Amino acid sequence: MTQAPHRPPVLDMTPEGDFRDAPQAVPRAGWLDRTLLRLGGFAVLAAVVAGGLVLAASAVLLLGLLIPVVIVAGLVGFVTLWWRARRGGRPGGRPGMPAFVIIRR
């Protein structure tokens, strides 16, 4: 049977000349600690994924709310241009009305 090599004691001294105590031994992590650590990691991952889904759903909801605004604004623009073009085609129409020119090649 072989003996472990003898290690001399470590004297840890502060700049003031006091000795420090030896560091306390950290207890080894048991099966419960490892299981809780893994479970906590999965919980953080699930929270990040859920946060990303909430962010994506908020973006879709915002775009869904903007679709009617875009449709109404497009209709107002179309009706305005249609009305001005219709009035511009009449004899005695006001000057400064837009003229639509189609160039064919």
Residue 93's contacts (CB-CB under 8 Å, 6 or more residues apart) are: 87
Closest CA to 38 of 27, 46, 50: 46
Stronger pLDDT, 89 or 18, i.e. the higher one: 18
The 10s digit of each residue's pLDDT in 31-89 is: 899 999 999 999 999 999 999 999 999 999 999 999 999 999 999 999 998 888 777 66
Contact in structure between 20 and 13 (CB atoms under 8 Å): yes
Q: Which residue has the tokens 């962010």?
A: 55
What's the confidence (pLDDT) of residue 18? 84
Mean pLDDT of the 11-27 span: 78
What's the confidence (pLDDT) of residue 97? 55
What's the confidence (pLDDT) of residue 25? 72
What's the confidence (pLDDT) of residue 99? 60
Rounded Cα–Cα distance for residues 89 and 74 (Å): 23
